[in-house]
Amino acid sequence: MGRVIALFGIATDDGVVMATYLTQTFDKNLPTTKEEVRASVVEAGVKRIRPCLMTTATTMLALLPVLTSTGRGSDIMIPMAIPSFGGMLVALITLFVVPVLFSWQREITLKKLNNEN
């Protein structure tokens, strides 16, 4: 259960970092067209992908000694570390999903505003 909590924590942390910077970028740029929204998403994504990747990479690197161990207890620890390592690979998806969902939501909001006017 602790591994699941750790995976959710890191995925959520990456999502919050990305969403916070996306919000700040939208507040700064104030996009009014679909192209401006997408440009803002790319701008924010480019600036925040490195910190999120480093968080995930350090966690994955920390699991490598456990995955490659051969000493006492490794027969129990390796099967426990494999799902965590695979989960970290899946957690990388949040780096792509959050900006896409943010862009989609903002584009829908713009479309509704344009239809009202």
pLDDT tens digits for range 47-86: 988 988 888 888 889 889 998 999 898 898 888 888 888 8
Return the pLDDT at 103.
Answer: 93
Q: Where are the domains of the chain?
A: 2-111
Determine whether domain 2-111 maps to CATH 1.20.1640.10. yes
Give the mean pLDDT of the chain: 87
Tens of pLDDT, residue by residue over 86-97, are: 888 877 888 888
Does pLDDT of 114 surpass 90? no
**Residues near 37 by beta carbon (within 8 Å), at least 6 away in sequence:** 26, 31, 103, 106, 107, 110
pTM for the structure as a whole = 0.78
